[in-house]
Amino acid sequence: MSPAASKRQADLLKQEGNAFFQKERISAAIDAYTGAITLCPNVAVYWTNRALCYKKRNEWTKVEEDCRTAIQLENHSVKAHYMLGLALVNRQKLSEGIKALEKSLELGRGAHPASYMVEAIWQQLSKAKYIEWESLSRERATQLRKLKVACKEAICNYNSLGNPAADAPEEQLNELEEVFKKAAKTDTPTEVPDHLCCKITLDIFRDPVITPSGITYERAALFGHLHMVGKFDPVTREALEPHQLVPNLAIKEAVDSFLSEHGWAYKIR
């Protein structure tokens, strides 16, 4: 069979796989995509489609394998990086999974900044980073408890020697409590400041853009408003076109700083 004929046959199998997938016939879809891969192994979409089937069945090792192959063939594939990230996170490879999700978010924002895919990636990235933060938080809490006990014992031992220059034990212990209380605040969820939240979604900014009137919105939410409601600023009601929006890099940096400081553990009003 010629390369052109193989590609035509592979595309037909891909279409069959898509039809099977929509009907929830996952095994049949996998067989169809596998046939397409056998005929044309250098087409990334066949691998990502099969990975999506494995994702449906929570077969994360196979998702990872197919997505890595797809990325080798097409490094800018948003879906491949996204599903690779999900697979790694579900296989408890958090650090590597977060990197893959961050890459998919970067690619998604560049290709389709207002798409549902970007929002889905952000949600999964937030969840993964929170899981990572929670794990590190537990480790820090254990270390703090051990250190606190050691410090208390040191204070008590020091005072038991009858050192005349030592402060009263109660005063020292109270100061110690304050120090460790402040240290623990790093791992306490905090509310997001108003200026870091979109006026439409009321959630923390992911991809903030600023309008000519000086108001910042979440890009996807504002695009939705312009498309569904009308081409005007939701707050000022002034006429507004998509090409007038400019990324608000200052707010994005402030959000990144807030998330870094608070470990992605935050509360929305």
Decide if 56 contacts 86 (C-beta within 8 A): no
199 shares a domain with 103: no
Gap between the Cα atoms of 127 and 130, Å rounded: 5
Identify whether 80 is part of a domain. yes
User: Could you tell me the residue range of the domain that residue 232 belongs to?
Assistant: 194-267
Of 86, 118, 150, which closes a domain? Answer: 118
Of 118, 142, 165, which closes a domain? Answer: 118
pLDDT (0 to 100) of residue 113: 57
Q: What is the pTM of this model?
A: 0.66
106 shares a domain with 199: no
The structure tokens 């623990």 sit at 184
Number of domains in the chain: 2
Distances (CA, A) of 121 to 44, 99, 182, 214: 20, 12, 34, 28
Identify whether 131 is part of a domain. no
108 shares a domain with 9: yes
Decide if 102 contacts 125 (C-beta within 8 A): yes
pLDDT (0 to 100) of residue 259: 78
Half-sphere exposure of 265 (CA within 13 A, CB side): 16
User: Residues of 239-256 as b/e, b for ≥16 C-beta within 10 angstroms?
Assistant: ebeeeebeebeebbebbe
pLDDT (0 to 100) of residue 83: 97
Identify whether 243 is part of a domain. yes
Identify whether 58 is part of a domain. yes
Gap between the Cα atoms of 248 and 215, Å rounded: 10
Per-residue pLDDT tens, the chain, 269 aa: give them. Answer: 788 888 999 999 999 999 999 999 999 999 999 999 999 999 999 999 999 999 999 999 999 999 999 999 999 999 999 999 999 999 999 999 999 999 998 888 776 655 667 778 887 887 888 777 777 777 877 888 888 888 888 877 776 665 554 555 677 777 777 877 777 666 666 677 888 888 888 888 888 999 999 999 988 889 888 988 899 999 999 999 999 999 999 998 998 888 777 656 554 44
- 68-71, long-range: CB within 8 Å, 24+ apart, which pairs? 69/44, 70/44, 70/45, 71/44
Strand-pairing partners, residue 134, are none
Identify whether 219 is part of a domain. yes
CATH code, domain carrying 233: 3.30.40.10
Identify whether 64 is part of a domain. yes
Assigned token pair, 243: 């090409």
Cβ contacts of 37 within 8 Å, gap of 6 or more: 10, 43, 46, 47, 50
Identify whether 176 is part of a domain. no
Cβ contacts of 243 within 8 Å, gap of 6 or more: none
Assigned token pair, 19: 């039809």
pLDDT (0 to 100) of residue 174: 79
Radius of gyration of the chain (CA): 26
pLDDT (0 to 100) of residue 189: 61
Gap between the Cα atoms of 264 and 135, Å rounded: 12
pLDDT (0 to 100) of residue 266: 57
pLDDT (0 to 100) of residue 161: 62
What are the DSSP calls for 106-168, one per residue?
HHHHHH-TTSHHHHHHHHHHHHHHHHHHHHHHHHHHHHHHHHHHHHHHHHHHHHHTT-TTSPP
111 shares a domain with 16: yes
CATH code, domain carrying 74: 1.25.40.10
108 shares a domain with 15: yes
Of 118, 140, 168, which closes a domain? Answer: 118
pLDDT (0 to 100) of residue 163: 56
Distances (CA, A) of 119 to 105, 144, 207, 208, 241: 9, 36, 10, 13, 22
Cβ contacts of 92 within 8 Å, gap of 6 or more: none
Identify whether 111 is part of a domain. yes
